[in-house]
Chain A
Amino acid sequence: MRRSPEPVFWSLFSAGGVVLALIAPALILATGFLVPAERVEFDRLSAILTQPLARIAVVGLAFLTFVHAAHRLRHTLVDVGLRAYGGPIATVSYLAALALTAWAALVAFG
């Protein structure tokens, strides 16, 4: 059977969509609006986010977000007529997502 590699990218894209459309807005809503500003203290948030598992989770969320954006960008460019460059566009898009994830890891673990 001729396997398309697309399920890998598509599932990451889907997971990124869930992060972007559900988890991120929920986090923003909770930390930015629902919890009173004086209750959100930098030291407490920092203590939570600098735990090893939390750092990994942050990088994971960033990874899915960037892959989602890369996948969308790739298919949008192809849809607007750049189909002939589909291969290079895909390569550059996903490499950019990986580079941005590396940057996120530097920030999260820095």
Chain B
Amino acid sequence: MTSGATTTQTIGFEIARYLPGEDRAPTLRHYDVPYRPEWVVLDALNYLKDEVDGTLSFRWSCRMGVCGSCGAMVNGVPRLMCAAFLRDYLPGPIRVEPLANFPIERDLVIVLDDFMQKLRAVKPWIIPGDRPPPADAEYRQTPAQLADFKQYSMCINCLLCYSACPVYQHEEEFLGPAVLALAQRYDHDSRDRGNSQRHELTWSDEGIWDCTFVGECSAVCPKHVDPAGAIQQAKVESTMDWYRSVLWPFGRR
């Protein structure tokens, strides 16, 4: 591509279309979109929906990598469509498919129910326990206490990590990278006393122990949460706890 007459040039797209009840399986359909170097894949899809085919379905909201709605497979890699620039995929075509490992609602829209149910199951909120928050003042944390969980709190639930995870692909029961990282986020919050309530699930075979540390979750994470690191950290903690419970059975909980 030469610079200059960029508006007259086009870039090809192969976009997965699927309407349950009518189509037996998703099929790729070809579209041509005007090429603009500042456009991202989401811009191209919005152009198509506005100008070419209003039935094209996809989720999006913020356009700036905060809401986590616009995840899709771009050329086979889980990406936020708002962060995937057309200029990085020259000369095209760009293949856009729904996030892998999820049932498809329609076109690029996936069914989130499994993730939502698992997220709820690990109680991703602060459980104060028998030390309720002070009534007349804010809860204070040191910078070190904040740093202990802040990275995990950056998760935007975009599910790119679930699409990249080969364990989740084979094992539906696996809680998965984002849920385990978020459980770790609350376990490590100094205000939280809910660890034991979460560990029954997160330290089980369907939790951290299903993970084989492939690390693709952290490779695709757009917010640098490092779910693989969170799971490894939890494995160490669970193992220490196991040995403590065996070697030091007195005065436990």
Using a CB–CB cutoff of 8 Å, the interface residues on chain A facing chain B are: 1-4, 6-8, 10-11, 14, 75-76, 78-79, 81, 83
Bound Cα distance A14, B166 (Å) = 22
Docked-complex contact A83 and B242, CB < 8 angstroms: no
Docked-complex contact B239 and A79, CB < 8 angstroms: no
Docked-complex contact B200 and A8, CB < 8 angstroms: no
Tell me how far the C-beta of B199 lies from the nearest C-beta in chain A, rounded to whole angstroms: 7
Docked-complex contact B209 and A4, CB < 8 angstroms: yes
Report whether over half of chain B's contact residues are helix, strand or loop; otherwise say mixed. Answer: helix
Within 8 A of A (CB), among B31-83: none
Given the complex, which residues of B lie within 8 Å of A76, measured CB to CB?
Answer: 212
A79-B166, A83-B170 known; A10-B239 Cβ under 8 A: yes
Contact residue among B166, B170, B205 (Cβ-Cβ distance under 8 Å from A6): B205
The 18 listed contacts between A and B (C-beta, < 8 Å) are A1-B196, A1-B199, A3-B242, A4-B204, A6-B205, A6-B209, A7-B238, A7-B243, A8-B242, A10-B235, A10-B239, A11-B239, A11-B243, A78-B212, A79-B212, A79-B214, A81-B170, A83-B170
Cβ-based interface call for B114 (8 A) = no
Q: Given A7-B243, A10-B209, list of 5 further CB < 8 A pairs?
A: A1-B199, A2-B200, A75-B212, A78-B212, A79-B166
Report whether over half of chain A's contact residues are helix, strand or loop; otherwise say mixed. Answer: helix
Given the complex, which residues of A lie within 8 Å of B203, measured CB to CB?
Answer: 1, 4
